[in-house]
């Protein structure tokens, strides 16, 4: 029998972070105690005033379809937020609202790519970028950004990757998985290259923008080079900064033609984001922002703790990330060692060793396009970090002594 699944989808892998969550849940059902560092999901509740706005929307009966591009109230709140945070001006027809930032990115790629169009994706990358490009019939062009470059794209490597078929550059700062943050000067170097290539659009994924720890201001391409606003899609959402992962609200801000096309894609897929969630999102953007600052301060403490603990473990080294809530730990010192399940040949083997022998769940660097690393999310409690690092240190100590 011929397969019902098309060839394009057969290229696509399930999300590694979601796959890891399934494994962790299965192990816990079997009675294993697992220190889970896989999901990039704040471990606190949605702030009370935001949750209350969702409840009030239900009580008012605001439970109907909205327009595909979101409620006017939420779009106005997004416009005000972007004006304040980026100094960029947008109109109501330049905002798209979707069921999470992931839908916004997918809608943009679906709306803009022709078969074979190239999309530059710096590695390490968020696991979904290349597969989303493939789903839209594009060609991901992976550019390696090694630790020696602080996991950042350089102007020279960007210039070398651009061809006449290049349609988009995807930038993610602060980065998942590395926590790399582009400074104003570094972003200026990239924008100078992009100004010379008017066919290249910029998809700036800024979902982790509040999570910057170095004291330097966040740098967006539309801030650094306003001329590029006419071909930049700024992507953001509510999941990370407001602990609203399950509410599923993301947004994009960009040129009218692109936003109109994206709204068509959204209208023919999910119709619109949840009206209840949009009411909560509006309250999040318009209300008290102190919870965001408190979360950032807490995550900085956790970052310092996990970096220190990882660097104390033989065979593992870990640079201090300037943003987001991940560390991208180098496990090259473990490659070639022999554990109970055999030789550790790569970072996937290392991640499996961590899980089996220490009950510590992480995601291998191969899933993010750059080895030999594993990603730890520190969006979890201090207790979990301490317990996980204790168990990991014990397991790796035995490995290195073997």
Model confidence at 14: pLDDT above 90: no
Length of the chain: 402
Model confidence at 253: pLDDT above 70: yes
Query: pLDDT band at residue 23, thresholds of 50, 70 and 90?
Result: confident
pLDDT value of position 26: 80
Model confidence at 132: pLDDT above 70: yes
Model confidence at 18: pLDDT above 70: no
User: What pTM was computed for the model?
Assistant: 0.94
Candidate from 22-26, 44-48, 142-146 with smallest mean pLDDT = 22-26
Q: What is the mean pLDDT of residues 6-21?
A: 70
Model confidence at 1: pLDDT above 60: no
Type and span of the H or E element at 204:
strand 201-205
* Residue % of the chain over a pLDDT of 70: 97
pLDDT value of position 241: 97
pLDDT value of position 17: 63
Tens of pLDDT along 288-334?
999 999 999 999 999 999 999 999 999 999 999 999 999 999 999 99
Long-range contacts: 300-303, Cβ < 8 Å, 24+?
Answer: 300/213, 301/382, 302/378, 302/380, 302/382, 302/385, 303/179, 303/213, 303/327, 303/378
Strands 166-172 and 363-364: unpaired
With left for phi above 0 and alpha for psi between -120 and 50, is residue 32 left, alpha or beta? beta
The fold adopted by the segment(s) 48-286 is: 3.40.640
48-286 matches 7-32+291-401 in CATH topology: no
Q: Where are the domains of the chain?
A: 7-32+291-401, 48-286
pLDDT value of position 20: 67
pLDDT value of position 370: 97
pLDDT value of position 320: 98
Query: pLDDT band at residue 15, thresholds of 50, 70 and 90?
Result: low
Query: pLDDT band at residue 353, thresholds of 50, 70 and 90?
Result: very high
pLDDT value of position 7: 77
Q: 7-32+291-401 — its CATH code?
A: 3.90.1150.10
Model confidence at 377: pLDDT above 70: yes
Model confidence at 218: pLDDT above 90: yes
Model confidence at 401: pLDDT above 90: no
Candidate from 12-26, 78-92, 112-126, 258-272 with smallest mean pLDDT = 12-26
Q: Which residue has the higher pLDDT, 285 or 7?
A: 285
User: Does residue 24 contact residue 16 with C-beta atoms inside 8 Å?
Assistant: no
pLDDT value of position 30: 83
pLDDT value of position 96: 98
Strand ordering across the sheet containing 201-205: 95-98, 250-253, 232-237, 201-205, 166-172, 118-123, 139-144
| Distance in angstroms (rounded) separating the CA atoms of residues 181 and 219 | 8
| Distance in angstroms (rounded) separating the CA atoms of residues 330 and 373 | 4
* Residue % of the chain over a pLDDT of 90: 88
């Amino acid at each position: 029998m011929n397969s019902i699944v098309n060839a394009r989808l057969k290229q696509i892998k399930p999300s590694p972070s979601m796959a890891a969550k399934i494994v962790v849940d299965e192990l816990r059902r079997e009675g294993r105690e697992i220190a889970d560092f896989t999901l990039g999901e704040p471990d606190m509740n949605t702030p009370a005033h935001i949750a209350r706005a969702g409840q009030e929307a239900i009580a008012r009966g605001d439970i109907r379809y909205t327009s595909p591009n979101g409620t006017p109230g939420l779009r106005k709140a997004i416009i005000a937020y972007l004006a304040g945070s980026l100094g960029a001006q947008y109109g109501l027809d330049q905002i798209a609202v979707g069921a999470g930032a992931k839908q916004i990115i997918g809608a943009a790629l679906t709306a803009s790519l022709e078969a074979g169009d190239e999309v530059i994706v710096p590695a390490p990358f968020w696991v979904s970028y290349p597969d989303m490009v493939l789903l839209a019939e594009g060609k991901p062009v992976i550019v390696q950004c090694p630790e020696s470059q602080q996991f950042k794209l350089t102007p020279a490597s960007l210039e070398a990757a651009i061809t006449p078929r290049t349609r988009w550059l995807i930038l993610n700062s602060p980065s998942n998985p590395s926590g790399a943050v582009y400074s104003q000067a570094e972003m200026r170097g990239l924008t100078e290259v992009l100004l010379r290539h008017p066919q290249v659009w910029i998809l700036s994924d800024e979902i982790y923008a509040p999570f910057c720890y170095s004291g330097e201001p966040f740098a967006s391409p539309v801030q650094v080079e306003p001329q590029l606003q006419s071909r930049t899609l700024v992507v953001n959402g509510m999941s990370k900064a407001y602990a609203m992962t399950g509410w599923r609200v993301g947004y994009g801000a960009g040129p009218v033609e692109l936003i109109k096309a994206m709204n068509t894609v959204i209208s023919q897929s999910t119709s619109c984001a949840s009206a209840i969630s949009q009411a909560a999102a509006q309250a999040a953007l318009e209300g008290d922002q102190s919870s965001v600052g408190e979360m950032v301060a807490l995550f900085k403490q956790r970052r310092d703790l996990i970096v220190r603990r990882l660097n104390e473990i033989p065979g593992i080294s870990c640079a201090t990330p300037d943003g987001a809530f991940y560390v991208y730990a180098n496990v090259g010192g473990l490659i070639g060692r022999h554990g109970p399940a055999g030789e550790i040949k790569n970072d996937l083997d290392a991640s499996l060793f961590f899980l089996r022998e220490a009950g510590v769940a992480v995601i291998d660097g191969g899933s993010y396009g750059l080895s030999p690393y594993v990603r730890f999310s520190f969006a979890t409690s201090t207790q979990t970090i301490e317990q996980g690092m204790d168990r990991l240190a014990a397991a790796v100590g035995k490995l290195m002594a073997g």
